[in-house]
Amino acid sequence: MKLNNIKLVIIAMLVSFTAFNCSNDDDNGSNDPMQQTPPDFSGTFTQEDQMGRPAINTVFVDMADKNIYNVTLPSNQGAAFQTKFQNKLEALNPAHTDPMYTNALGFNAEQFTGALATDVLTVSLVGTTTFFDGTNILTGRALDDDVISTELLLIFGGPAGADNPGLTNDNVSANDKSFSATFPYLASPW
Amino acid sequence: MKKSKILIGTAIIAIAGYFAISADHIDAPAVAGGTSDITDIYGFQGQDTNTIVFVANVQGLISPANTSSAAFDENVLFEFNIDNNGDAVADLVIQATARDGKMYFFGPTAPSQTGLNSSIVTTATTNAVAITNYGDDAIIESNNDMRFFAGPRDDPFFMDFVRYTQIVTPGDDDNDGMEEGAFLPEGTGDGFASDTFAGTNVLSIVVELPKAMVGSGDSVNLWVESKRKQ
């Protein structure tokens, strides 16, 4: 452990010396001591995770596909995953195997999973922004939106939201801290 | 050394196996528990009705005891992707990455390339905010008509994820003699629904900017990506 710590310190020192040596000379005219070496923003960055709507990967993607889903571009997700999402939805709520059966949005299994498989969050620029507030649906995601109960209702609730009543609400309806009306909106950490 | 590594590995696997978690917290094996793991994103109208707010939370389930040592990974780039013509391809990107205690922001700007690989558009509008330390008041940077924040926050996500997992996992998971078929009732204590994410923190990146900077139509599509330096 101690040896590793020493190694880390040496590496850190080497890195800082190297960074110092890399300071560019383009601004020779400036003798401002406040002018510091700009951070290094070079290089190629390769995708590891992505997210649009809440809980889509968690609920609809099989364990074997979870990594690949995170590196499938949204514009390619529908073609790659709609059928798998439909199978998952029909397993969760077998009533959805009937193409005449719809959820509260009026979508049958194919239509609903077709909308969900492209995992982007639509955010309104002209009106209320909410996942669901009783009136507006999928116009954004606010901090206090009960997104899970909305998704449960759309998965299990059927056309009137009355099916499978034990599964359409997780009965946790609010966060454990209040949000702020002003930036940065999120609550201070515990 | 080896033993502690094994213990940590076991703990991560146990957590991942137990939670495999929502909303996007440790959603996939490759990112679970890592510094590129996105837990949630949000998009909503700001305090000024002409602004829009984008939030990306990463590194979920941070206990209060571990929050002061939680840090953004300087090798990870976070991108708010904005599609403003409905084809689910990014037209604009806001890039965020940490260096030396600051979160740097680039954009919104057209990405140099769309897809799984990115480079940082250093020619775009650049802003920075000091990353707020645990326990300090939120540091807010206002510049170029935008507001910026980066640092630890309470995880705003709430859900009885434990019960959800028991419901979708076949068999009797809580040893009460029957398969779980419904959520628990609202209330406090044993036998009632509880927020699996209560009392935990995340690292947050928050940007607020004029709606006119992201699109001129009725809506945009938003998603967030994390990318690691190669």
More confident residue, A26 or A157: A157
As beta bridge partners, residue A132 has A137
User: CA-CA distance, B15 to B31, in Å (whole number)?
Assistant: 13
- Write the residue in B167, B182, B206 that is nearest to A185 by C-beta: B206
The SS3 call for residue B77 is: strand
Residue-wise pLDDT for B151-197, tens only, equals 999 999 999 999 999 999 889 988 889 999 999 999 999 999 999 99
Query: What is the pLDDT at residue B13?
Result: 41
- Whether residue B218 and residue A42 make contact (CB cut-off 8 A), yes or no, is no
Tell me the shortest Cα–Cα distance from A99 to chain B, in angstroms: 23
Residue A19's pLDDT band (boundaries 50, 70, 90)?
very low
Q: Enumerate the residues of chain B whose CB falls inside 8 A of the CB of residue A49.
A: 24, 27-28, 31, 36-38, 225-226
> What gap in Å lies between CA A140 and CA A124, rounded to an integer?
6
Find out whether B201 and B70 touch, Cβ atoms under 8 Å: yes
Determine whether the interchain pair B154/A182 forms a contact, defined as Cβ–Cβ distance below 8 Å: no
Cis amide leading into B185 (omega within 30): no
A120 touches chain B (CB under 8 A): yes
Instruction: List the structure tokens of A26.
Output: 């383009």
pLDDT at res. A15: 47
Please enumerate in sequence order all residues whose Cβ is within 8 A of that of B41, keeping only pairs 6 or more positions apart, or say none.
Answer: A51, A52, A121, A141, B24, B54, B55, B56, B57, B222, B223, B224
According to DSSP, residue A182 is labeled S
- Spatial distance between the Cα atoms of B203 and B67, rounded to a whole number of angstroms: 9
Task: Report the complex ipTM.
Answer: 0.90
Give mean pLDDT, residues A17-42. Answer: 58
Q: What is the average pLDDT across B38-52? A: 97
Q: Please tell me the pTM assigned to this model.
A: 0.87
Asked if residue A138 lies in contact with residue A128, where contact means CB atoms within 8 angstroms, the answer is: no
Question: Is A147 within 8 Å of A55 (Cβ atoms)?
Answer: yes
Which one of B18, B19, B26, B27 would you mutate to disrupt binding with A, by most A Cβ within 10 Å of its Cβ?
B27
- As a whole number of angstroms, the distance between CA B67 and CA A148 comes to 26
Helices (H), B68-180: 161-168
Of the partner residues A174, A187, A190, the one whose CB lies closest to the CB of residue B64: A190
**Shortest CB distance from B122 goes to which of A1, A41, A73?**
A41
pLDDT of residue A14: 46
Pairing outcome for strands B51-62 and B76-83: unpaired
Query: In this predicted structure, what is the pLDDT of residue A124?
Result: 98
Determine, for residues A147 and B23 on separate chains, whether the beta-carbon distance falls below 8 Å. Answer: yes
Q: Are B5 and B12 in contact (CB under 8 A)?
A: no
Q: How far apart are CA B9 and CA B207, in angstroms?
A: 34
**Between chains, do A125 and B214 touch, taking CB under 8 Å as contact?**
yes
Please report residues of A whose CB lies closer than 8 A to that of B147: 183-184
What is the 8-class DSSP label of residue A61?
A: S
